[in-house]
Amino acid sequence: MNKSELIEAIAASADIPKAAAARALDAMVDAVTDSLKKGDSVSLVGFGTFQVKERAARTGRNPQTGQPIEISAAKVPSFKAGKALKDSVN
């Protein structure tokens, strides 16, 4: 499912116009992004938790030359599915 299909599904489920569903989806994505930028986590009970994790620096290899390269530490977003979501998938 891509973004436009998700917007159509939201609009149909909530019985709202597609434009309103698109604005709602964009607002939700922006809110989660802003919260993660601040270092906060976002928990949606039954769905899951969005959070920022620290990835340590490490040594990798250039696949073309085989030379070792240093990969710097980074903050990466992660998602952990909640129990209800896991149960509905299985």
For range 66-90, the mean pLDDT: 94
Element (H, E) at 4: helix 3-14
Q: pTM of the prediction?
A: 0.80
- Each domain of the chain, given as residue ranges in start order, spans 3-85
Query: What tens digit of pLDDT does each residue of 2-53 get?
Result: 999 999 999 999 999 999 999 999 999 999 999 999 999 999 999 999 999 9
What CATH architecture is 3-85? Irregular (4.10)
Tell me, what's the pLDDT at 10?
95
Expressed in percent and rounded to 5, the helix, strand and coil fractions of the chain are 45, 30, 25
